[in-house]
């Protein structure tokens, strides 16, 4: 078993904790690499414009923090690490073009991103065709580590199946078994709706409607005006990004929050902070949080160091998107270091099953059978005004679900995922 304390070592260097790093078995600080060094280049593709611009920008920040931490202690394989950033404008076709440009023109050693699951799937396919490693730092769709998995792709965010499992039971128990869903009409939304539909069948729930909404929807009234008449026990909002903000604002204007509860698979801090306090309502899945013992634990230092460093640098706490991209980049660079190579097959083999300490309490790892990250999820309720002294602390975490209880089994995944390593 590979056990590598990624975050603690990296932030020990960044915070000047040389003794702690030395005690953990890391080499002494290496001065900044010269300009002549042959840099390792990571191509990052993100949705920097459009409905997901805010969380995508935070993925950029998270990835860069990991790169900075590695470079401060000498880079990877004695080489500086550079990021080449591209915007796919929230378009899977554009994402493929950017992936090819990064590989063929910029000569990157690996690819990382994207937030849109459609883009993640398209980049995964393109990277496989080109024989390049791809770390999915943002896309949730089941297919990424399921029916459309590839040997060269690893998925950091929870799959849509995990999102539904981690929240659906709690929603049914707390509010009832008739759900009205508002769903984004693309790969992520389709996979998420299918996961909830499967769960509903198993626990006796009824989905009274599943409204598919285009990305970038500004007017949700055609869908929201039908909610009350359907008499659901709960409104499930599956859209994300700016669409989530618009949907929540308009649902409130229709008076829906006074008549029925609202919940969903997960909530992103960028979106909650964009809402006025009176609209910060509901119960939501949470993929990571910066301030709770159920997430960070009491004796787990890596996550707390990450939060402190981020707040010092940006004047606000990190979000789950910062966490995703930091872990994605850090693990990718660790695998290159461990494999002593940037060869994508060697990097992939190094990552499989390697347990590590990271930004939450627990010992996550990428499952060998499907390359999905096995890590917990949390469930919480929004609190409108934060907590005394911290206006950003808008989620009260009330439950934690371990990965083994919310993920499909490795045996089940082995029947749908064929990694097909090159001979």
Same domain, 64 and 137: yes
Give the span between the Cα atoms of 331 and 69, in whole angstroms.
12
Same domain, 259 and 396: yes
pLDDT tens figures, 115-128: 999 999 999 999 99
**Two tokens, residue 351:** 């990552």
**Two tokens, residue 48:** 């920097």
Residue 266 covered by a domain: yes
Reply yes or no on whether the pLDDT at 368 is more than 80. yes
Q: Is residue 8 very low, low, confident or very high in pLDDT (cuts 50, 70, 90)?
A: very low
Residue 33 confidence (pLDDT): 52
Round to the nearest angstrom and report the end-to-end CA distance of the chain.
25
Reply yes or no on whether the pLDDT at 358 is more than 50. yes
Residue 414 covered by a domain: no
Same domain, 168 and 220: yes
Residue 21 confidence (pLDDT): 34
Q: What are the E-state strand segments in 14-166?
A: 40-46, 81-87, 110-113, 134-136, 153-155
pLDDT tens figures, 137-166: 999 999 999 999 999 999 999 999 999 999
Give the span between the Cα atoms of 95 and 89, in whole angstroms.
8
Same domain, 284 and 401: yes
Q: Is residue 89 very low, low, confident or very high in pLDDT (cuts 50, 70, 90)?
A: very high
Reply yes or no on whether the pLDDT at 249 is more than 50. yes
pLDDT tens figures, 175-219: 999 999 999 999 999 999 999 999 999 999 999 999 999 999 999
Q: Which of 129, 131, 132 is nearest to 113 (CA)?
A: 132
Q: Which domain holds residue 132?
A: 3-158+295-377
Give the span between the Cα atoms of 318 and 291, in whole angstroms.
10
Q: What is the CATH number of the domain that holds 165?
A: 3.40.50.2300
**Two tokens, residue 100:** 């090819």
- Cβ neighbours for 308, distance < 8 A, ≥ 6 positions apart: none
Same domain, 285 and 363: no
Same domain, 187 and 197: yes
Q: Which long-range contacts (CB under 8 A, 24 or more apart) does 13-22 make?
A: 13/69, 13/72, 13/73, 14/68, 14/69, 14/72, 14/309, 15/305, 15/309, 21/73
Same domain, 269 and 334: no
Residue 256 covered by a domain: yes
Residue 408 to residues 160, 173, 345, 404, 412, Cα–Cα distance (Å): 11, 22, 25, 8, 6
Same domain, 166 and 241: yes
> For the chain, what is the domain count?
2
| Least confident window among 11-15, 57-61, 73-77, 342-346 | 11-15
What is the arithmetic mean of pLDDT over 25-32?
Answer: 38
Same domain, 275 and 390: yes
Q: What is the mean pLDDT of the chain?
A: 91
Residue 421 covered by a domain: no
């Amino acid at each position: 078993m590979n056990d590598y304390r990624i975050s603690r070592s990296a932030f020990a260097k960044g915070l000047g904790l040389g003794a702690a790093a030395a005690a953990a078995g890391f080499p002494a600080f290496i001065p900044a690499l010269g300009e002549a060094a042959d840099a390792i280049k990571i191509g990052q593709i993100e949705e920097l414009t459009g409905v997901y611009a805010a969380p995508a920008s935070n993925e950029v920040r998270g990835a860069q923090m990991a790169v900075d931490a590695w470079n401060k202690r000498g880079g990877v394989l004695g080489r500086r690490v550079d990021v080449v950033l591209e915007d796919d404008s929230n378009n899977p076709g554009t994402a493929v073009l950017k992936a090819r440009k990064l590989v063929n023109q910029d000569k990157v050693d690996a690819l990382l991103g994207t937030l849109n699951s459609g883009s993640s799937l398209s980049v995964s396919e393109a990277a496989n065709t080109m024989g390049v490693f791809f770390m999915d730092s943002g896309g949730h769709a089941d297919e990424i580590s399921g029916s459309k998995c590839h040997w060269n792709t690893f998925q950091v965010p929870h799959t849509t199946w995990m999102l539904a499992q981690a929240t659906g039971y709690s929603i049914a128990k707390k509010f009832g078994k008739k759900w009205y869903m508002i769903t984004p009409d693309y790969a992520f939304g389709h996979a998420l709706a299918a996961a909830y539909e499967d769960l509903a069948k198993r626990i006796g729930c009824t989905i009274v409607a599943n409204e598919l909404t285009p990305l970038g929807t500004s007017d949700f009234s055609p869908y929201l005006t039908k909610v009350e008449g359907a008499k659901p026990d709960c409104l499930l909002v599956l859209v994300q990004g700016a669409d989530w903000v618009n949907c929540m604002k308009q649902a409130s204007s229709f008076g829906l929050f006074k008549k029925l509860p609202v919940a969903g698979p997960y909530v992103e801090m960028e979106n909650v902070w964009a809402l006025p306090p009176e609209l910060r309502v509901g119960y939501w899945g949470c993929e990571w949080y910066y301030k709770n013992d159920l997430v960070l634990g009491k004796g787990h230092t890596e996550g707390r160091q990450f939060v402190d460093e981020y707040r010092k640098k940006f004047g606000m706490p990190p979000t789950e998107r910062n966490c995703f991209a930091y872990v994605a980049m850090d693990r990718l660079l660790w695998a290159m270091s461990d494999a002593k190579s940037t060869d994508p097959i060697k990097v992939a083999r190094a990552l499989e099953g390697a347990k590590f300490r990271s930004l939450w309490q627990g010992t996550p790892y990428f499952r060998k059978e499907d390359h999905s990250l096995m890590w917990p999820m949390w469930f919480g309720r929004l609190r409108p005004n934060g907590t005394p002294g911290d206006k950003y602390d808008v989620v009260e975490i009330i439950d934690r679900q371990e990965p083994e209880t919310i993920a499909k089994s490795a045996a089940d995944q082995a029947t749908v995922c064929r990694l097909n390593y090159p001979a």
